[in-house]
Amino acid sequence: MGKISYGRDEEVVQRMRPEPMTEAEAKAQDTIDDVEFEIFKHKMHMIGLEGKETTMKLGASTAMRFGDVAFGIFTAQGDLAVCATGIYHHAVLGQIPLKYIVKHLVEEPSVGVKDGDSFFYNDPYYAGVHNADMGLSVPVFHEGRLICFIGAAVHTGEAGGSEPGGTVTAAKSKYDEGMLIPPIKVGENYQLKEDLLNMFAAMNRDPRTMILDIKARLAATRIAQRRVLEVVEEKGADFVIGGLRKILAMTGQAARKKISRLNDGVYRQPRFLDTLGEDSGLVKIDLTVIKKDDQITLNLENSSPMLMDRPCNSYFQGIIGLAMVYFCGWLFHDLPPNNGLLEAIDWKFPDGSFINAKGDVATSIAPLVQITFTHGMFQSGARMTYATMPERSVASWFSGFSIPTFGGLNQFGEPVADITPEINATGCGARMDMDGVDAAGAFFATMADCSDVETTEADKPFLYGFRNYYNGSYGHGKRRGGAGLGYSLITHDTDYLLMGSHGGGSKFPTTQGLFGGYGLPSLFVRKVAHSNFKELLGESNVDLPTSLEHVYDGTSPETGSVSHGNISAVVEPSADGDVVYSYAGGGAGLGDALERDPEDIMRDLATDMVSEWAATNIYCIVYDKETMRLDVAATETARAAKRKERIASAKPYDAFVKEWEKQSPPQDVLRYYGEFPHPGTKALVA
């Protein structure tokens, strides 16, 4: 027995910033020529990009094939120096499992770290987000010396647990959640261990995908290993070791310099989440962003308490990871995404809070908790940057999830368990100078793709009734949010399927507007059991709904047992022919809707990207519905009248607040919130 410690290591997860420079790294710094360093940096990035592409090409799970991939080169101490990804949380979370390996396994005689080894991990305590994010890494040795690690972290859509699809909505503790594996050795001498692969397969509803994804990660890391060793042969081991360290150091310096350009101040954004998992309730993340000189501090004190019997918790490292989605993608968009950025960021998490989970509590819907937080980062970041970097000031992209989860048998009788990919087609938030891009991606996975419907239909037991832009999915404003997708999924050609849904915002919308722009409406799932949709489709019925608007305009000939439910829902049986309707949200609006250029609204009307209702009631334009001609003068008059109406009907602040603060949500809504309005952090059981 060497350095292994049983149970979770609370020390190693605190080491998110780069480790102190080693003697070898420090010695190399002075010998690295600037031009040679630039060439090296580019070469490493290309190796990373190739690794990311290879992983995607070889993977099997939905998220892996469509880009939910992070591929990186780590220092010998485990810091992530080079990361190729559109999933930026991995840029600061990916190194924790590596630091665990360095700390516990390198000198552990029963394990060790040798040339040809490979390591697997998916415990979110170390990987940070949720257990569907699984990683594999390999050490790179040269002449017996450990040079670096290479790793791939990818979302595999099934992780065991009491519900399929990587999300256990009804989890009461971590023991309901399936595989939670700290870093373990899964391969030696360039071979994976078949006994361990069989163990993973036995713990998982979709063993084929699970094993293919592991092999895809390994294949990509082995290619990258060869590429890195070519560089080592050419430039020398000292150069590579020093160069990787230099990337981290320069990133931290550049981040501090960039932050120093922003105005000093305090920026606040309370965030509210309306689901606890299988039931509804309100919890709060109280975000305060303090910018002082060249440092940003995230203070999350006064957030709601930890939930002892619900999966609505997150480890603090997952919150930091999702903070970096904002920082890497927006504020530091021109800097390398690696954990050197954290040299410019500090944080304060309260003990006992649901955003600083401890012990055995469930964290299955942690990604939802984390993106609820990230929305606060977007809001605070937009206010922080407008004065000095206005082009970086954007309204939020869709900040909820709306993800169908499923498990069962596909049309070939094979086991499947996964999610469908519409979350990768949400709308961008608006900018000061343009509308948000429609169906752009996911803010946390900007390079991921939502795939063709035919691709999903090819090996999943679904037919899409339709999937297209939904004009009720985004926030209105001077600049509108990009539209998300409305879609219908028909259960097709299967004898056994369970379907559920992962997301938030059915009662309290997840995505708020900016500078007077509006947020999104609430989300829900419409189900039609015993639907005649397939029968009508077989008859080529032309009146079947072709968009989400049509579903709700009363003209659909579809019949069946209709129900409307929360977007956060535990799986239940879905029979052949049952239909689900939902939407992936759009982006938030920016600015007062009364300032939107009327011609832009006419353009949106012509392409069905805005409803007639919104054109008239939100944007207050006047136009002829027959000729579609704008009445400029009448529009100006209507908008002026609206402004006067606002002034006449609104109250001075003090008078408003006096009445407003007499209210409170019902106690049932607050049963997990803590003290209202400013929660304490004592862990609660309802």
Partner 1 sequence: MTKLRITEYLDIDLSKEVWCCNRCDQELNSARKNYKEACLVTERNMADVHPPMVEGEAYSFMPDPDYCRLIEFYCPNCGTMLENEYLPPGHPVTHEIELDIDALKKRHADSAGLEK
Under rule CB under 8 A, which residues in 350-389 are in contact with partner 1?
A: 379-380, 383, 386-387
Please pick, from the candidates 193, 358, 642, 671, the single residue that binds partner 1 as defined by CB under 8 A: 642
Nearer to partner 1, 501 or 681 (CB): 501
Please pick, from the candidates 190, 198, 656, 675, the single residue that binds partner 1 as defined by CB under 8 A: 656
Nearer to partner 1, 396 or 494 (CB): 396
Please pick, from the candidates 65, 245, 480, 507, the single residue that binds partner 1 as defined by CB under 8 A: 507
Please pick, from the candidates 651, 675, 685, 686, the single residue that binds partner 1 as defined by CB under 8 A: 651
Nearer to partner 1, 139 or 486 (CB): 486
Residue with tokens 């600083």: 356
- Binders of partner 1 among residues 468 to 497 (CB under 8 A) are 472, 478
C-alpha span between 121 and 95 (Å, rounded)? 12
C-alpha span between 163 and 602 (Å, rounded)? 46
Cα dist. 342→80, 89, 601, 633 in Å? 12, 12, 42, 53
Smallest gap from residue 440 Cβ to partner 1 (A): 22
Smallest gap from residue 395 Cβ to partner 1 (A): 10
Provide the angle, in degrees to the nearest 10, between the axes of the packed helices 237-259 and 207-235: 110
Nearer to partner 1, 412 or 676 (CB): 676
C-alpha span between 387 and 242 (Å, rounded)? 38
In a 3-state reduction of DSSP, which class is residue 137?
strand
Smallest gap from residue 548 Cβ to partner 1 (A): 9
Smallest gap from residue 581 Cβ to partner 1 (A): 11
- Binders of partner 1 among residues 606 to 625 (CB under 8 A) are 613, 617-618
Nearer to partner 1, 144 or 652 (CB): 652
Of 652, 425, 465, residue with least CA distance to 560 = 465
Q: What dihedral angle (degrees, nearest 10) is formed by the CA atoms of 516, 298, 7, 672? A: -50
- Check binding of 663 to partner 1 (CB under 8 A): yes
Cα dist. 667→106, 355, 673, 686 in Å? 52, 22, 9, 11
Cα dist. 107→8, 20, 103, 116, 361 in Å? 19, 20, 8, 16, 31
Nearer to partner 1, 137 or 380 (CB): 380
C-alpha span between 362 and 358 (Å, rounded)? 9
- Check binding of 49 to partner 1 (CB under 8 A): no
Please pick, from the candidates 263, 555, 561, 607, the single residue that binds partner 1 as defined by CB under 8 A: 263
- Check binding of 202 to partner 1 (CB under 8 A): no
Nearer to partner 1, 368 or 453 (CB): 368
Total residues binding partner 1 (CB under 8 A): 73
Smallest gap from residue 656 Cβ to partner 1 (A): 4
Provide the angle, in degrees to the nearest 10, between the axes of the packed helices 194-202 and 207-235: 140
- Check binding of 667 to partner 1 (CB under 8 A): no
C-alpha span between 602 and 221 (Å, rounded)? 51
Per-position x/- string for 418-447, each x denoting binding to partner 1 as judged by CB under 8 A, each - no binding? --------------x---------------
- How are strands ordered across the β-sheet holding 579-584? 462-470, 484-491, 579-584, 525-529, 561-565
Half-sphere exposure of 623 (CA within 13 A, CB side): 23
Nearer to partner 1, 25 or 274 (CB): 274
- Binders of partner 1 among residues 552 to 591 (CB under 8 A) are 552, 564-566, 590-591
- Check binding of 529 to partner 1 (CB under 8 A): no
- Check binding of 521 to partner 1 (CB under 8 A): yes
Residue 242 near residue 25 (C-beta atoms within 8 A): yes
Nearer to partner 1, 194 or 661 (CB): 661
Beta-carbon contacts of 60 under 8 Å, excluding residues fewer than 6 positions away, are 208, 209, 212, 213, 216
Please pick, from the candidates 116, 415, 560, 677, the single residue that binds partner 1 as defined by CB under 8 A: 677
DSSP per residue, 227-260:
HHHHHHHHH-HHHHHHHHHHHHHHHHHHHHHHHT
DSSP 129: S
C-alpha span between 532 and 536 (Å, rounded)? 6
Query: Alpha helices of 269-411 — where are they, by DSSP H?
Result: 316-326, 366-385
Beta-carbon contacts of 373 under 8 Å, excluding residues fewer than 6 positions away, are 271, 285, 287, 300, 314, 319, 322, 323, 355
Nearer to partner 1, 632 or 657 (CB): 657
Please pick, from the candidates 35, 194, 542, 662, the single residue that binds partner 1 as defined by CB under 8 A: 662
Per-position x/- string for 274-313, each x denoting binding to partner 1 as judged by CB under 8 A, each - no binding? x-------x---------x---------------------
Smallest gap from residue 131 Cβ to partner 1 (A): 29
- Binders of partner 1 among residues 123 to 142 (CB under 8 A) are none
